Structure 1
Amino acid sequence: MLIINELKERLEQLVKSEDGNWAIVVEDLDKQDSLSINGKHQYYAASIIKLPIMATAFSMADQGLLCLSEKIKLKKVDVVGGAGVLQHLSIGLELTFYDLLMLMIIQSDNTATNMVIDRLGKKQIQATMSQIGMLHSSFYNKLMTVPVQLEGRNMITAHDVSTFYRTVVEGKFSSQYACEQMIDLLKRQQIQHLTAYFPDIPIKHIGQQPEWTFASKTGSVENLYHDTGVLYKRDRTVIINVLSEGCNQNKAIRMINQIGKEVYEYVKV
């Protein structure tokens, strides 16, 4: 049986052979065991910052400060590049706030993200990160925009991202309903790398539960590739966070694929 110390040794050998800087945190919530490789090293957050943004939205909805069904109109000034479909749609389109959250998470839509940020406010997002315990992470800026006076950068650590997932999985943020909704959104993720080598086991009967599900969020900019999430396999729940910088895209994604495979091998026994 593969124990977590052996998994750590395997992962250390993997990233040792690759260029760039890597951080990996794995938390086995059932065995109450964990491993950390550079878990407190700060990385530029890229789209991983969308996790506390999402949490802020559900918390404010719980408090009656916003309604997830309220509609927001897409304006020309909102449109930015990068990931997402909204930049290609018609100005004046109205979307519910929940739809914007959906696009922000499952397509990593940057335009949707900035519209969400405008509605929430920077201070509310910062307060959420503090409340969750993301003490070595920071949020300052919208995505795909560069302020004239840069107050700071959006930064994360693998340890803090793991804290975020653990808090949500255990239903300890805002409300159990909010946590359930967030995990549901994350399970609909359309961009994944950690699961590339997970087995594709077909569902034979209607209503049958899949062998595994993964609630996740990726983030990437040039030479920086992250994949993070929660693996659910039968009665096991394991948090996996991989952050990297200074990497070639193809090599980095292959490495993340391999890390996911190693963690799945650990979980399946």
Structure 2
Amino acid sequence: MELEKRLSKIVQESAGTWGVVVKELAVPQGICFEHQPDELFIAESVIKVPIMAAVYAACEQGKARIEDQLPLRKEDLVGGSGFLYALSPGLKLSIRDLVTLMIIQSDNTATNMLIDFVGKELIDQTMRELGMERSYYSRKVMIYPQDVTANNMITAGDVARMLEHIVSGSGFSRAARTEMIAIMNKQQVLNGLPSQLPSASNQDGLPGWELACKSGWDTGRQHDVGILFVEGRQFAIAALSQDVTPEAALHTLGLLGRAVYDYAVA
């Protein structure tokens, strides 16, 4: 198909190593493009999506309510993305607000607070239930010296299956799925998959879109994953990279997002 050819050309002409999966959801014979879907990549902040899912699973199991509050402790404060590390211990935030900060600002302090809340066992269980067969969670973020040296790892195939479960899987209530997508739709880092899409304000006359996504990056690695909603269609996109400069990777991510959009509206 034309989209598969276009995606293949984008990946082949890109620097670095890539794992890419694009799948149209809710369509039995929908497009499914795969490039190294089982290649393991260091997860970076993409691991925060299954952590979010584990939080909602805990709440649906009755272990807490999403409105319950958790106190910010001095030992929770870690640097990197986000701003909670700059606030005063003792502040209380709802679980929902912590999830929101973890996703839309990639707040590392919020992430570790939620990891402590749900625990590794439930994160592992949730990842399995989301179809993440090769991926695994190992440790909290921005902890130095590291108490666990193994990295959190993901594959593009696993991430695409996870996104599909979040959209339509049976493991969550409709309300939980809707809320998780709404939070991802507010991500503030938009320099990857959405970067070459038309204006979301629809001023250019092209069909509108939403992209519920989560990015992650570190030296030599740049990931972006999400669900593109356009023209009544849904596409899971998982794009992971390594051994590539940020500029080159972000350009490739933008091309991938635009290719899927153009296919959907053609």
Q: TM-score range by the shorter chain?
A: over 0.9
Matches within 5 A, 1:10-29: 10-29=6-25
Once the two structures are superposed, what CA deviation does each residue of 1:240-268 show, in whole Å capped at 9, x if it has no partner?
11100011111111111111111211111
Say whether residues 1:196 and 2:195 are aligned partners: yes
Aligned mate of 1:183, from 181, 184, 187: 181
Are 2:124 and 2:137, in contact at CA under 8 Å, matched by a contact in 1?
A: yes
- The farther-off stretch of 91-100 and 41-50 is 91-100
User: What CA distance in whole angstroms lies between the structure 2 residues aligned with 1:258 and 1:22?
Assistant: 14
Aligned equivalent of 1:261: 258
Aligned equivalent of 2:220: 223
Matches within 5 A, 1:197-216: 197-202=196-201, 211-216=208-213
Aligned equivalent of 2:133: 135
User: What CA distance in whole angstroms lies between the structure 1 residues aligned with 2:171 and 2:118?
Assistant: 17
Matches within 5 A, 1:1-269: 5-29=1-25, 30=27, 31-146=29-144, 150=148, 152-192=150-190, 193-202=192-201, 211-269=208-266
Are 1:15 and 1:22, in contact at CA under 8 Å, matched by a contact in 2?
A: yes
Once the two structures are superposed, what CA deviation does each residue of 1:189-244 show, in whole Å capped at 9, x if it has no partner?
1112111111115368xxxxx81111111111111100010110121111111100
Are 2:229 and 2:235, in contact at CA under 8 Å, matched by a contact in 1?
A: yes
Unaligned runs of 5+ in 2: none
Q: In the alignment, residue 76 of structure 2 is paired with which amino acid?
A: D
User: What CA distance in whole angstroms lies between the structure 1 residues aligned with 2:163 and 2:170?
Assistant: 10
Figure out how many residues of one structure are paired with residues of the other and give that number: 260
Are 2:231 and 2:264, in contact at CA under 8 Å, matched by a contact in 1?
A: no
User: What CA distance in whole angstroms lies between the structure 2 residues aligned with 1:222 and 1:191?
Assistant: 17
Are 2:41 and 2:155, in contact at CA under 8 Å, matched by a contact in 1?
A: yes
Shift of 1:151: 6.2
- The farther-off stretch of 234-243 and 5-14 is 5-14
Are 1:173 and 1:179, in contact at CA under 8 Å, matched by a contact in 2?
A: no
- Please give the TM-score of this superposition, normalised by the length of structure 1: 0.91
User: What CA distance in whole angstroms lies between the structure 2 residues aligned with 1:191 and 1:149?
Assistant: 29
Partner SS, residue 138 of structure 1: coil
Once the two structures are superposed, what CA deviation does each residue of 1:116-171 show, in whole Å capped at 9, x if it has no partner?
00111011100101112101100010011256553632100000000011111114
Partner SS, residue 9 of structure 2: helix
User: What CA distance in whole angstroms lies between the structure 2 residues aligned with 1:107 and 1:203?
Assistant: 25
Measured at CA, do residues 90 and 183 of structure 1 come closer, stay the same or move farther in structure 2, by a change above 3 Å? same
Q: In the alignment, residue 199 of structure 2 is paired with which amino acid?
A: D
Measured at CA, do residues 149 and 167 of structure 1 come closer, stay the same or move farther in structure 2, by a change above 3 Å? same
- Please give the TM-score of this superposition, normalised by the length of structure 2: 0.92
Unaligned runs of 5+ in 1: 205-209
Measured at CA, do residues 262 and 26 of structure 1 come closer, stay the same or move farther in structure 2, by a change above 3 Å? same
Aligned equivalent of 1:207: none
Q: In the alignment, residue 46 of structure 1 is paired with which amino acid?
A: E
Q: In the alignment, residue 57 of structure 2 is paired with which amino acid?
A: S
- The farther-off stretch of 107-116 and 70-79 is 70-79
- The farther-off stretch of 25-34 and 95-104 is 25-34
- The farther-off stretch of 141-150 and 104-113 is 141-150
User: What CA distance in whole angstroms lies between the structure 2 residues aligned with 1:117 and 1:219?
Assistant: 18
| TM-align CA RMSD | 1.7
Once the two structures are superposed, what CA deviation does each residue of 1:71-101 show, in whole Å capped at 9, x if it has no partner?
2121221111111111122222111111101
Shift of 1:187: 1.0
Measured at CA, do residues 123 and 115 of structure 1 come closer, stay the same or move farther in structure 2, by a change above 3 Å? same
